[in-house]
Amino acid sequence: MKGITTSRMKTIDENCEHLGLKGLQLMENAGAAIAHEVKERIQKGNVLIVAGRGNNGGDAFVAARHLVYDPAITVNIALIGSASGIRTQDSMHNFALLEHCRIEGFIEITDPQQLKATRWLDDADLIVDALLGTGITGKLRETEATVIDLINDSKVPVVAVDVPSGFDPEGGKFDRSVRADITLTFHRMKKGLASDHAKEYTSEVKVINIGVCEDAETYVGKGDIAAFRTRSRDSHKGQHGRMLIIGGGPYSGAPALTAMAALRTGADIVTVAAPANVADIIASFSPNIIVKALSSNILCEKDIDTVAKLIEGHDVVVMGMGLGRDERTKDTVSKIVPLCKKVVVDADGLYGIALPVPEDIEMIITPHAGEFTALGGNGKEDALEFSKKNNVTVLLKGKEDHISNGERVAINHTGNPGMTVGGTGDVLAGITGALFAIAPAMDAACGAAYINGVAGDLAFERWGHGLLATDIIDMITEVMK
Ligand SMILES: NC(=O)C1=CN([C@@H]2O[C@H](COP(=O)(O)OP(=O)(O)OC[C@H]3O[C@@H](n4cnc5c(N)ncnc54)[C@H](O)[C@@H]3O)[C@@H](O)[C@H]2O)[C@H](O)CC1
Ligand SMILES: [K+]
């Protein structure tokens, strides 16, 4: 079973919040499950909870409240750091409730020797490891590392909360980690726990349902763009994506819309390679767009060397809009795809690609229903199978967009009927390419569908059915705030 990444889990958490399912509710379910597991393992005795200052610790504070309800169980809590340093509201909330419970002993640890001095490790019948969960970042700090060694040296059975503390949820190798008898991981298997070296750190893993509603996982929500909204202060030019658009010919507006949408989504550099007859028109739309004129008035074989050189200097290619469907153009598109690392293909470009996509190319296609059928797709229910079979991420546009990378399907239900106006597909392709330059295909396609739809909804509020594709572009930054 492939596990999910921490960022995917964060997205689900944020989508839960937006659906009205609070983190505190999820924490309560997580903590109750921990308490249940502890009781399965010891009917009576001493439980030592080793807690960190994040939500991993918060889960254990809930478990403590549930456990001490049973007079046969005593609970001692060792918190790494000070209670005033508890980092999250949910964890602090559950810590405060412990004032009203029969907790045997509580200590704030700044020096691991303090834990040794309590002898709680010697007297414990079971340890709940709630030091660190998916919030671990970078090299293990000294206090935590020594406490982990003390836990392992104690030989006391360990129930790990979400992931063994110190273990990398993403599957990398960290220097030290708790060795658990069982790990209770919440909602979905984590990528690291599905890796073959996980066995060294936990004898068993149980996936615990904590009541996440399905739509938080299936529907694309604000959580799906969280990663795109923050920017590190020390960003440098080009870090947020250099995009090459190959478009235009019979049409000139389409690639310009794609370019402006990409810039508004945050792409640093956008170059449009367009047939000579429309190059100046596209350049005239905005000084923000770099335009390279190709050889004639349609994309053709003679342009391949020029395009190949341009591809080298960009992170992602977006191809198709406004190209027209001349046989020479379709043939040239099929020859350009193998030169790309990451490519978004839309509109007329879809008539030139060969499926399945070669393994070494990451492709997102953004067809509407008719284009999907022309590619051999069989309606929105086929998105998962089609993407798996063809090694392509599909953003199938419709009243609800269906997005799949062959592993899962996401549904975007933002957007409105006003968006049938020409050019919205060009805008979507530009947003998709800008995100694809800095994120995996599925995250980029989901994020783009959401941003495009919400920007369209904001434009609808302002202009109703009279909204234009350029209005959607103007709303992109509003959505990404
Ligand atoms: N839907 C869910 O998945 C739920 C998850 N829950 C639990 O939440 C944790 C993740 O919580 P988070 O606050 O993000 O972080 P952690 O508690 O895992 O860790 C942060 C904590 O650890 C310190 N820290 C970070 N890196 C290091 C390091 N290298 N060395 C030492 N210390 C480090 C940091 O300072 C913080 O204090 C998840 O695992 C679940 O257990 C929800 O409660 C339920 C729903
Ligand atoms: K843990």
pLDDT in tens, 386-406: 999 999 999 999 999 999 999
Give residue 133's pLDDT. Answer: 96
**If DSSP codes are grouped into helix, strand and coil, which group holds residue 50?**
strand
Terminal-to-terminal C-alpha distance of the chain: 36
Tokens of 264: 């508004």
Query: β-pairing, 393-396 with 362-365?
Result: parallel
> Ligand 1, from 5, 21, 29, 55: best to mutate by most atoms within 8 Å of Cβ?
55
Query: Shortest CA distance to 59 belongs to which of 100, 84, 30?
Result: 30
**If DSSP codes are grouped into helix, strand and coil, which group holds residue 86?**
coil
Which tops the pLDDT comparison, 125 or 232?
125
Q: Are 23 and 110 found together in one domain?
A: yes
pLDDT higher than 80, residue 437:
yes
Q: Are 214 and 272 found together in one domain?
A: no
Compute the distance between CA of residue 66 and CA of residue 19 in angstroms, rounded to an integer: 27
Q: Are 239 and 149 found together in one domain?
A: no
Query: Shortest CA distance to 211 belongs to which of 419, 32, 391?
Result: 32
Query: Considering the entire predicted model, what is its pTM?
Result: 0.85
Look up the CATH number of the domain holding residue 203: 3.40.50.10260
Tokens of 57: 């610790």
> Ligand 1, from 12, 88, 136: best to mutate by most atoms within 8 Å of Cβ?
136
Which residue carries 């390419």 as its tokens? 433
> Ligand 1, from 88, 128, 134: best to mutate by most atoms within 8 Å of Cβ?
134
- Per the annotation, does 15 bind a ligand? no
pLDDT higher than 90, residue 423:
yes
pLDDT, tens digit (0-9, with 9 covering 90-100), for 330-365? 999 999 999 999 999 999 999 999 999 999 999 999
**If DSSP codes are grouped into helix, strand and coil, which group holds residue 210?**
coil
pLDDT, tens digit (0-9, with 9 covering 90-100), for 361-373? 999 999 999 999 9
Residue 445 included in any domain: yes
Residue 1 included in any domain: no
Query: β-pairing, 362-365 with 342-345?
Result: parallel
Compute the distance between CA of residue 279 and CA of residue 246 in angstroms, rounded to an integer: 11
Regarding the beta carbon of 268 and ligand 1, being less than 6 Å apart is answered: no
Q: Are 207 and 267 found together in one domain?
A: no
Q: Are 179 and 158 in contact (CB under 8 A)?
A: yes
Tokens of 301: 């074989």
Q: Are 209 and 242 found together in one domain?
A: no
Residue-wise burial string across 213-238, b where 16 or more C-beta atoms lie within 10 A, e elsewhere: eebbbebbbbbbbbebeeeeeeeeee
Give residue 226's pLDDT. Answer: 87
Q: Give 347: exposed, middle or buried? Use CB within 10 Å, 0-12, 13-18, 19+.
A: buried
DSSP 162-187: SS-TT--TTS---S----EEEEEEES
Query: Shortest CA distance to 412 belongs to which of 378, 456, 462, 357?
Result: 456
Regarding the beta carbon of 62 and ligand 1, being less than 6 Å apart is answered: no
State in Å: Cα 136 to ligand 1 middle.
6
Q: Are 251 and 172 found together in one domain?
A: no
Res. 43 pLDDT band, cuts 50 70 90: very high
Peptide bond into 71 cis (omega under 30): no
Q: At what angle do helices 276-285 and 253-265 cross, to 10 degrees?
A: 40
Give residue 126's pLDDT. Answer: 98
pLDDT higher than 70, residue 233:
no
Give residue 232's pLDDT. Answer: 60
Q: Which of 33-42, 236-245, 430-439 has the lowest mean pLDDT?
A: 236-245
Compute the distance between CA of residue 348 and CA of residue 330 in angstroms, rounded to an integer: 8
Per the structure, the count of domains in the chain is 2
Mean per-residue pLDDT of the chain: 95
Q: What is the chain's percent helix, strand, coil content, to nearest 5?
A: 50, 20, 35
Res. 7 pLDDT band, cuts 50 70 90: confident
Q: Which of 127-131, 166-170, 175-179, 243-247 has the lowest mean pLDDT?
A: 175-179
Compute the distance between CA of residue 169 and CA of residue 177 in angstroms, rounded to an integer: 11
Compute the distance between CA of residue 140 and CA of residue 132 in angstroms, rounded to an integer: 10
Res. 20 pLDDT band, cuts 50 70 90: very high
Mean pLDDT, residues 440-446 taken together? 96
Indicate the residue among 218, 242, 267 that finishes a domain. 218
Q: Are 276 and 204 found together in one domain?
A: no
pLDDT higher than 80, residue 198:
yes
**If DSSP codes are grouped into helix, strand and coil, which group holds residue 438?**
coil
pLDDT higher than 70, residue 187:
yes
Strand order in the sheet with 45-51: 105-109, 73-80, 45-51, 126-130, 158-161, 180-186, 202-208
Give residue 331's pLDDT. Answer: 98
Ion ligand 2: residues, CB < 5 A = 129, 133, 160-161, 165
Indicate the residue among 194, 218, 242 that finishes a domain. 218
Query: Shortest CA distance to 93 belongs to which of 24, 161, 22, 16?
Result: 24
pLDDT, tens digit (0-9, with 9 covering 90-100), for 74-132? 999 999 999 999 999 999 999 999 999 999 999 999 999 999 999 999 999 999 999 99
Residue 283 included in any domain: yes
pLDDT higher than 70, residue 46:
yes
Residue 223 included in any domain: no
Q: Are 200 and 310 found together in one domain?
A: no
Residue 470 included in any domain: yes
Q: Are 196 and 303 found together in one domain?
A: no
Q: Are 265 and 348 found together in one domain?
A: yes
Q: Which of 125-129, 177-181, 223-227 has the lowest mean pLDDT?
A: 223-227
Q: Whose CA is nearest to atom 36 of ligand 1?
A: 54
Task: Note whether ipTM > 0.90 here.
Answer: yes
Look up the CATH number of the domain holding residue 415: 3.40.1190.20
Give residue 1's pLDDT. Answer: 65
CA–CA distances in Å: residue 410 to residues 381, 419, 443, 450: 11, 20, 10, 11
Regarding the beta carbon of 141 and ligand 1, being less than 6 Å apart is answered: yes
Q: Whose CA is nearest to atom 24 of ligand 1?
A: 136
Q: Which helix (H) or strand (E) holds 271?
A: strand 269-274
State in Å: Cα 162 to ligand 2 middle.
6
Q: Residue 196 is part of which domain span?
A: 6-218
Q: Whose CA is nearest to atom 19 of ligand 1?
A: 135
Q: Are 278 and 391 found together in one domain?
A: yes
- Work out the angle at residue 107's Cα, subtended by the Cα atoms of residues 105 and 112, and round it to the nearest 5 degrees: 130
Dihedral of the alpha carbons of 21, 27, 28, 29, in degrees to the nearest 10: 80
Regarding the beta carbon of 164 and ligand 1, being less than 6 Å apart is answered: no
Res. 196 pLDDT band, cuts 50 70 90: confident
Give residue 351's pLDDT. Answer: 97
Indicate the residue among 193, 218, 243 that finishes a domain. 218
Compute the distance between CA of residue 444 and CA of residue 340 in angstroms, rounded to an integer: 17
Q: Are 372 and 304 found together in one domain?
A: yes
Beta bridge partners of 345: 319, 365
Tokens of 9: 């889990």
Q: Considering the chain, what percentage of its residues have pLDDT values greater than 90?
A: 92
Tokens of 422: 């020409």
Q: For residue 4, give the DSSP letter.
A: B
- Per the annotation, does 387 bind a ligand? no
